[in-house]
Amino acid sequence: MDFESTVPESSVPLGDERIEGEISNEIPLIRIRPAKGWGGFNLRDLWAYRELLYFLTWRDIKIRYKQTILGVAWAIIQPLFAMLMFTLFFGKLAKMPSDGIPYPVFAYAGLLPWTFFSNAVTNSGNSLVGNSNLITKVYFPRVIIPGAAVCAGIVDFLIASTILLGLMFYYGIALTWSFLIFPLLMVITTLLALGVGMWVSALNVKYRDIRYALPFLIQLWMFATPIIYPLNIVPERFRWVMLINPLSGLVEAFRATLLGRPFNWVEIGLACLITFALLAYSFYVFRRMEKSFADVV
Amino acid sequence: MKAVKVENLSKQYSIGVSRAPYATLRDSIAGFANAPLKLFRRNKRASDSTIWALKDVSFEINRGELVGIIGRNGAGKSTLLKVLSRITEPTRGGVDIFGRVGSLLEVGTGFHPELTGRENIYLNGAILGMKRQEIERKFDEIVAFAEVQKFIDTPVKRFSSGMYLRLAFAVAAHLEPEILLVDEVLAVGDNNFQKKCLGKMEEMSSGGRTVLFVSHNMPAVLRLCNRVILLDQGQLLADGSPQQVTRQYLSSSTGSQAERVWPSAEIAPGDTVARLRSIRVCDKAGKTIEATDIRQDFRIEVEYWNLQRRLRPSVLLIFTNEDGVCLFQSNDFNNNVWADTRREPGLVRSVCKLPGNFFSEGRVLVTVGIGTYNPNLLHAIERDAVAFQIFDRSEGDGVRGEYVGEWPGVIRPMLDWEINTKAGNPTASSYQEESLHT
């Protein structure tokens, strides 16, 4: 009796058959050659590993606030307190103009994409070095690592957005149809963060100076972006300088969608253009440096 | 049916990189400023600062083969696996791989201590290239294999190291690529765990999968593989049957480790009392050997210069196995006549005779020293000066008899057993009362 019950009903052979089937059906050919330039940037490979992007993003989110007392609240505390400080010093004391909307809403609407962007760039910039154990032991498209670090920031962004909705409700500002552009802007900001983050992460593998320079550069970048001040206080003839920074156009557009104000399509178009150019350049640099990661990191 | 085709594969590393793994921006700027100067020096520098970890390696592997890759440290074994698993790119040449590759260069890559066992199975599976569906399908199997059902929702940082290792291996073992690359995973874990690993690899290759297995563990290579590739200094030295290639490897003189000769007094270990000249492992006939049959007697021969009359130096040998376990120490003052002999300055040869059926299978490292006692002083020491390999052919007349599986123990002595018998059946009363002693 005992004997019979240990003979499997069908589950084991079935599983095996399926695997055998997988083997004989499609045998992928992997060609390994010294890569040149764009040669090896394999989009199909990237697609095949899309689940890894999901799992690494999920890991980053999962462990970020482990062993913290406040947990996910940190996603809100950061922009919230920055907004309170800015409101006090720039809004109340310095009487900074804010396009005719209450300064807290104005500042928070700028801080929201900025916090996402700066965290995404910082995290992805350090991601390759931080995951060196993966890079030296397993193959997968390396872009996934900085990519996951950027994606993990989106959750924080969404959590922090609730505060903005609260603020708008408090000040009696209604959402308008232009809010529908919001996801598109989010995508572009994410791509920009990916472009910068990827580039920084690759450089960081080779030059560890980046780790020290990055926080400082990010801080400078914040002042070069219209977050505490509106873009229109910059004199007209210098405004193009501001717009070389694609984040300027994006932050202004973020405010416009939330507060239902007219878009400056030229600014947005320019921001997109610069973002895509940066992303392409960054992919190229990353690809060129990628092959030496395992040897250098 | 081909599984792997390697053609003129070469991989160059610059030594500068290995010395200081990452550059700083300052170095690069300095390098840029010095660039014009370099034009004049280039010829000298270029060849010095690079090494070929792999040089023009070519071979083909058919589906279902279980191939061992052996060689000394730095022979290029790990680099080969890294290129095959696409972790690093070749400098020249290329590889075609027909099928999905799974590489196990480490057990538990990407495990995160804060995540639970369940979460780590998914994460590690994805890192190793499994699809989520696939992991879900095998989840219960993996947990059962690892024997961690109770703790599956506990963060793995609370796992014992054994549980951690079992879980990590369980995930890897359920990866089902057409081609599996394994690097010394067996070096970790206890015997039981290693047996599980070996068993799983055997199972995979008999299921039509191709396995490449890098190892220093000759017994395992001999037992598992049906073909062995020998690398030396980045080049393919031999490719053939396991017996033939492992024998070539063990007896080859390339950087012989069975013999160590110090050509001059300046570099030889020693002081004003005694100085080592050579040490070697040899058979009864005096021929240097790298490997010996477990049943055979052999010797370790030490030569040194005695430089004084006053003291009575003694040669000491310390034997260690590959896991770093010290097996024993032996001194030549065990020869009582020699211990009481007055010394004259000159050359001394001291030979230690080692019996067959004594060491266990595997590699043994020998540390040699010269000491004087009362007061205790060490005049010369050379750690792991020579090494030898003990192999067990399992031909039936050894300690393990006909048994070919794992045989535990750091030594494997052939002991005398005395056996007595008496015919009859036990009854309730006679069970204890019967006696074989007469």
Q: Write out chain B in H/E/C secondary structure.
A: CEEEEEEEEEEEEEHHHHHCCCECHHHHHHHHHHHHHHHHHHHHHHHHCEEEEEEEEEEEEECCCEEEEECCCCCCHHHHHHHHCCCCCCCEEEEEEECCEEEECCCCCCCCCCCEHHHHHHHHHHHCCCCHHHHHHHHHHHHHHHCCHHHCCCEHHHCCHHHHHHHHHHHHHCCCCCEEEEECHHHCCCHHHHHHHHHHHHHHHHCCCEEEEECCCHHHHHHHCCEEEEEECCEEEEEECHHHHHHHHHHCCCCCCCEEECCCCCCCCECCCEEEEEEEEECCCCCECCEEECCCCEEEEEEEEECCCCCCCEEEEEEEECCCCEEEEEEHHHCHHHHCCCCCCEEEEEEEEECCCCECCEEEEEEEEEEECCCCEEEEEEEEEEEEEEECCCCCCCCCCCCCCCCCCCECCCCCCCCCCCCCCCCCCHHHHCCCCC
B186 contacts B194 by C-beta, under 8 angstroms: yes
Spell out which residues of chain A touch residue B21, defining contact as CB-CB under 8 Å: 296-297
Give the distance from residue B131's alpha carbon to the nearest chain A alpha carbon, in angstroms.
7
**Burial of B418 from C-beta contacts in 10 A (0-12 / 13-18 / 19+):** exposed
Which residue of chain A has the CA closest to B28? A207
| Cβ neighbours, 10 Å, residue B400 | 17
Weakest mean pLDDT among A15-24, B20-29, B221-230: A15-24
Residue reference for tokens 């590489």: B103
CA distance A230 to chain B (A): 36
CB atoms near residue B223 (< 10 Å)? 15
The answer to whether the CB of B347 falls within 8 A of the CB of B305 is yes
- The alpha-carbon radius of gyration of chain B (Å, integer) is 27
CB contacts, 8 Å: B112 with chain A: 59, 63
Q: Do the Cβ atoms of A136 and A212 come closer than 8 Å? A: no
Pick from B127, B132, B137: CB nearest A134:
B127
Q: pLDDT value at position B38?
A: 47
Which chain B residues are within 8 Å of A296, Cβ to Cβ?
A: 17, 21-22
In angstroms, the separation between the Cα of residue A217 and the nearest Cα of chain B is: 16
3-state DSSP call for residue A31? strand
B19's CB contacts (< 8 A; 6+ apart) are none
d(CA A200, CA A213) in angstroms, rounded, equals: 11
Residue B370 · residue B304 · CB < 8 Å: yes
Comparing C-alpha atoms, which of B197, B195, B215 is closest to residue B362? B215
The SS3 of residue A267 is: helix
| Band of residue B413 on the pLDDT scale cut at 50, 70, 90 | very high
B106 vs A181, which has greater pLDDT?
Answer: A181
Give just the sign of the alpha carbon dihedral B414, B415, B421, B426.
negative
Give chain B's mean pLDDT.
Answer: 83
User: Looking at chain B, which residue has its C-alpha nearest residue A136?
Assistant: B87
* CB contact (8 A) between residue B178 and residue A32: no
For domain B2-249, give the CATH superfamily.
P-loop containing nucleotide triphosphate hydrolases (3.40.50.300)
pLDDT per position as a tens digit, A233-292:
888 888 888 889 999 999 999 988 887 778 888 889 999 999 999 999 999 889 888 888
Rounded Cα distance between B8 and A226, Å, is 57
* B149-164 exposure pattern, b = at least 16 Cβ within 10 A, e = fewer: eebbeebbeebeeebb
What sign for the dihedral angle of Cα B249, B253, B255, B256?
positive
Q: B interface mutation test: which of A16, A29, A42, A51 has the most B CBs within 10 A?
A: A51
Integer-rounded Cα Rg, in Å, for chain A is 24
Q: How many helices (H) and strands (E) does chain A have?
A: 15, 1
Q: Do B119 and A19 touch (CB under 8 A)?
A: no
A54 CB neighbours in chain B (<8 A) are: 126
Determine which of A32, A68, A205, A217 to mutate to test the interface with B (most B C-beta atoms within 10 Å).
A32
In this prediction, residue B78 carries a pLDDT of 84
Cα(B243)–Cα(B227) distance, rounded to whole angstroms?
A: 9
Compare CB distances from A139 to B87, B94, B207 and report the shortest one's residue: B87
The residue ranking higher by pLDDT, B101 or B50, is: B101
Are B381 and B314 spatial neighbours (Cβ–Cβ below 8 Å)? no
Q: How many CB pairs under 8 A join A and B?
A: 126
> Which pLDDT score, from 0 to 100, does residue B315 have?
96
Both tokens of residue A181?
Answer: 């552009």
pLDDT in tens, B162-173: 788 888 888 888
List strands edge to edge, sheet with A29-32: A29-32, B92-98, B2-14, B50-62
Of A22, A27, A206, Cβ closest to residue B23:
A206
Token pair of A275, please? 């973002």
Is-contact B98 A41, C-beta < 8 A? no
Write the single-letter amino acid at B25.
Answer: L
**How is residue A263 annotated by DSSP?**
-
Question: Is the pLDDT assigned to residue A3 strictly greater than 50?
Answer: no
Check CB contact under 8 Å for A55 and B109: no
Alpha-carbon distance of B4 to B227, in angstroms, equals: 14
Q: Which residues neighbour A66 within 8 Å (Cβ) at sequence distance 6 or greater?
A: B114
Sign of CA dihedral A53, A57, A63, A64: positive
| B43 pLDDT above the threshold of 70 | no
Q: Is B126 close to A55, i.e. CB distance below 8 A?
A: yes
Mean of pLDDT values over B134-139 = 92
User: Rounded CA gap, A251 and A60, in Å?
Assistant: 26
DSSP-derived secondary structure letter, A207:
B
Model pLDDT, residue B165: 82
Calculate the CA B97 to chain-centre distance. Answer: 27
Contact A32 B97 (CB under 8 A): yes
Average of pLDDT values for B407-415?
90
CATH (residue range B259-391): 2.70.50.60
Q: How many CB atoms lie within 10 A of CB B177?
A: 20
CA A66/CA A70 separation, integer angstroms: 10
Mean pLDDT of B89-112: 86
- To probe the interface with B, which of A138, A208, A209 has the most B CB atoms within 10 Å? A138
Comparing CB atoms, the residue among A51, A137, A207 nearest residue B23 is: A207
A297 contact residues in B (CB cutoff 8 A): 21-22
Residue B81 CA, chain-centre distance (Å), reads: 16
- List all residues 6 or more positions away from B164 whose beta carbon is below 8 Å from its beta carbon: B108, B111, B156
DSSP-derived letter for residue A85 is H
Distance (Å) from the alpha carbon of B13 to chain A's nearest alpha carbon: 8
Q: Give the one of A30, A33, A295 whose C-beta lies nearest to B17's C-beta.
A: A295
Q: b/e string for A104-138 if b means 16 or more Cβ within 10 A?
A: bbbbbbbbbbbbbbbbbbbbbbbbbbebeebbbbb
Asked whether the beta carbons of A35 and B89 are under 8 A apart, the reply is: yes
B41-45, B94-98, B314-318, B371-375: least confidently modelled range? B41-45
Q: Domain boundaries in chain B?
A: 2-249, 259-391
The rounded distance, in Å, linking the Cα atoms of A197 and A146 is: 7
Assess contact for A261 and A255: CB atoms under 8 A: yes
Place of tokens 């045998």: A27
Ramachandran bin of B159, using left for φ above 0, alpha for ψ from -120 to 50, beta for the remaining angles: beta
Give me the pLDDT at residue A28, please. Answer: 78
Residues of B in contact with A32 (CB under 8 A): 83-84, 86, 89-90, 94-97
Grade residue A37 by pLDDT with cuts at 50, 70 and 90: low
Confidence band of A116 (pLDDT split at 50, 70, 90): very high
Omega before residue B90 within 30° of 0, cis: no
Tell me if B101 and A297 make a contact (CB, 8 A cut-off).
Answer: no
